[in-house]
């Protein structure tokens, strides 16, 4: 039980017995005591004044004295400042916390709760490689899944691959026109990059053809519709939907090239999935649900045969769910896939990690599911996140100016190498050890930088800033961990568990932060926000470094102090390691 929970329960019990009134945790507020005041935790007294008809000072004195009397193992002193009761927690509480948990590698994690959650993320297109935006998506989805696991949820990681449609056919047509039979193997190019090049070539050729038609007197709109390469692409899509064998064969071949490339990238960045859905297998889903909705009068059919839903009463608009030719739209497919997920796994919540440009779509999806009375409707959750840009600005994949994930990963590893070599502390590493270290630091820097920001916020990713060994970065936390491991290699835990009764301020400050770890994990899961955890880990690393700068472990004042500080180092290392792994980051044993 967290210290805040213990204070709440003690306060409720003491208030009730002292003032002969029924109280609950909702009747008062508990905060961490502000740094400028003496104390650890503060009870805000103002909400009790009206009920008890006493001044805050009177209430504080009676409550403070009663807490010290009834819970001497928990409270050692109190003071009152303008309606705030500041409480000091006993040294024995902090020391007991340390002795009980310092070697517990599962400290902070919660028991299984019987709830099943699916987290869907990544959602790539098979006409181009993953890019920087996909990295934020992957890191966010993977981390949220791991945080939920630590909170006792049974988690399924899923991905929907957008492997069909006009954009896929663009790469296919361009390959037929310009490749001369080239393959990733013959060009020694990674499959997703190879196919992505033809997507860019399509756009280049399309622009040329549109310009030529306009020069011949055609309007821009007509030129865009009648460009020969676009007409060929539309015909290919029609042939694909009709199952034309040679088109299907080419589609499978080029998609497989892309999948091979994706697999390399996913392995490099440490992203994985328990279940992968393919749009080519799901795009016909949902039509039966639309028919049920027509029968229930949730949808209506227009004169041209198309099917719609009217959401104007909810402040939205009318939404198409079935075209006049009977083909589905993305909304139809998403309703059908949501049902399939529920039917397959009976999940208690379905979390979609999708950029904020899809906020409207996801709002409509949930609203339609609710109007249809589908059993999973209320459990659809859109984890919306802001776009990520580089200092140079936005990225456009159509023009080929997008920053590919593989390129930014390679840049991060190279930057990690440069910074690490500049410190000059790895001269005794083997070549293999250095290769692994640069990858660990480079990927750790990128993941932490992308996850330390609240998902809802747009952000600029600065590769150079992300790898500062002394800043608010992943490498700073990795360095702190490696530093602790170095200490423990020289000074292993003592067999003598004796610890002193007194705590110095910085020793207590580290313990104060360590105690919060289970609550931080719970808060990060509740908010579906890894930045809560990232900020906490940075604070812990920074505080431990301050402690270690001031207080020696090897040359502690006595054996009891040495034992306490070694336990403090072990527990800090365990919490940093467990927490950072939930962000998808590895820890180096030395650096």
pLDDT of residue 399: 46
Q: Residue 502: what pLDDT?
A: 86
Q: Is residue 586 a contact partner of residue 440, using CB atoms and an 8 Å limit?
A: yes
Q: Where are the alpha helices (DSSP H) in 42-119?
A: 46-52, 56-70, 91-101
The Cα angle at residue 279 between residues 273 and 280, in degrees rounded to 5: 120
- Residue tagged 């939930």 (tokens): 582
Best CA proximity match to 230, nearest among 247, 210, 245:
210
**pLDDT for res 555:** 92
Residue 102 burial (CB count, 10 A)? 23
Three-state DSSP string of 427-494: CCCCHHHHHHHHHHHHHHHHHHHHHCCCCCCCEECCHHHHCCCCCCCHHHHHHHHHHHHHHHHHCCCC
3-89 in CATH: which number? 3.30.1360.70
Distances in Å between the Cα of 321 and the Cα atoms of 165, 291, 335 are 17, 11, 10
Q: Which residues in the chain land under pLDDT 50?
A: 395-400
pTM for the full predicted model: 0.93
Give the model's pLDDT for residue 216: 93
pLDDT for 501 equals: 72
Contact 587, 481 (CB under 8 A): yes
Around 447, how many Cα atoms within 13 Å sit in the side-chain half-sphere? 33
Which CATH architecture best describes the domain 406-581?
A: Orthogonal Bundle (1.10)
What is the predicted pLDDT for the residue at 496? 59
- At 398 the pLDDT is 44
**What's phi and psi for 332, nearest 5 deg?**
-60, -50
Q: What is the DSSP string of 237-273?
A: HHHHHTT-HHHHHHHHHHHHHHHHHHHHHHHHHT---
pLDDT at 391: 83
Residue 517 φ then ψ, to 5°: -55, -50
Among 121, 157, 119, which residue's Cα sits nearest to residue 139?
121
Cα(220)–Cα(558) distance, integer angstroms: 84
Ranges of each domain in the chain: 3-89, 165-270, 287-327, 406-581
pLDDT value, residue 498? 58
Q: Which 3 state secondary structure label does DSSP give 85?
A: strand
pLDDT of residue 425: 82
Give the span between the Cα atoms of 175 and 199, in whole angstroms: 9
């Amino acid at each position: 039980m967290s210290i805040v929970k213990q204070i709440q329960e003690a306060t409720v019990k003491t208030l009730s017995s002292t003032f002969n009134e029924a109280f609950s945790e909702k009747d008062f507020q508990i905060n961490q005591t502000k740094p400028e005041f003496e104390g650890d935790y503060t009870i805000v007294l103002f909400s009790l004044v009206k009920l008890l008809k006493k001044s805050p000072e009177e209430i504080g004195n009676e409550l403070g004295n009663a807490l010290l009397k009834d819970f001497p193992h928990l409270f050692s002193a109190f003071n009152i400042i303008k309606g705030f009761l500041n409480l000091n927690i006993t040294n024995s509480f902090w020391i007991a916390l340390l002795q009980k948990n310092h070697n517990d590698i599962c400290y902070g994690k919660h028991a299984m709760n019987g709830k099943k959650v699916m987290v869907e993320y990544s959602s790539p297109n098979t006409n181009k490689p993953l890019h920087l935006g996909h990295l934020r998506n992957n890191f966010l989805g993977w981390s949220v899944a791991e945080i939920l696991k630590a909170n006792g949820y049974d988690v399924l990681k899923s991905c929907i691959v957008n492997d069909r449609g006009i954009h896929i056919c663009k790469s296919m047509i361009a390959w037929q026109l310009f490749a001369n039979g080239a393959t990733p193997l013959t060009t020694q190019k990674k499959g997703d990059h190879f196919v992505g090049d033809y997507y860019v070539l399509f756009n280049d050729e399309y622009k040329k053809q549109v310009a030529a038609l306009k020069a011949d007197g055609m309007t821009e709109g007509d030129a865009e519709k009648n460009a020969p390469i676009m007409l060929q692409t539309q015909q290919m899509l029609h042939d694909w939907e009709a199952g034309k064998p040679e088109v299907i064969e080419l589609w499978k071949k080029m998609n497989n090239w892309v999948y091979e490339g994706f697999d390399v990238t996913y392995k490099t960045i440490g992203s994985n999935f328990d279940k992968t859905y393919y749009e080519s297998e799901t795009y016909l889903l949902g039509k039966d649900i639309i028919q049920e909705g027509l029968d229930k009068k949730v949808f209506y059919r227009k004169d041209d045969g198309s099917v719609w839903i009217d959401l104007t009463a909810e402040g939205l608009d009318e939404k198409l769910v079935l075209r006049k030719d009977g083909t589905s739209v993305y909304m139809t497919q998403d309703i059908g896939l949501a049902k399939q997920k529920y039917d397959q796994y009976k999940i208690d919540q379905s979390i979609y990690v999708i950029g904020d440009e899809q906020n409207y779509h996801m709002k409509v999806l949930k609203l339609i599911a609710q109007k249809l009375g589908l059993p999973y409707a209320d459990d659809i959750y859109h984890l919306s996140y802001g776009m990520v840009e580089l200092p140079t600005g936005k990225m456009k994949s159509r023009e080929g100016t997008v920053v590919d994930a593989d390129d930014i990963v390679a840049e991060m590893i190279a930057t990690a190498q440069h910074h690490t070599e500049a410190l000059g502390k790895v001269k005794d590493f083997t070549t293999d050890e250095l290769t692994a270290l640069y990858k660990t630091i480079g990927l750790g820097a990128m993941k932490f930088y992308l996850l330390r920001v609240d998902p809802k916020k747009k952000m600029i990713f600065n590769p150079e800033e992300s790898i500062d060994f002394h800043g608010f970065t992943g490498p700073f936390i990795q360095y702190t961990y490696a530093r602790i491991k170095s200490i423990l290699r020289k000074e292993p835990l003592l067999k003598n568990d004796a610890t002193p009764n007194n705590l110095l301020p910085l020793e207590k400050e580290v313990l104060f932060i360590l105690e919060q770890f289970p609550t931080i994990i719970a808060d990060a899961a509740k908010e579906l926000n890894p930045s809560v955890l990232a900020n906490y880990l940075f604070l812990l690393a920074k505080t431990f470094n301050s402690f270690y700068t001031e207080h020696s472990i090897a040359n502690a004042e006595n054996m009891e102090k040495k034992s306490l500080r070694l336990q403090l180092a072990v527990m800090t290392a365990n919490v940093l390691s467990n927490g950072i792994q939930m962000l998808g980051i590895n820890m180096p044993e030395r650096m």
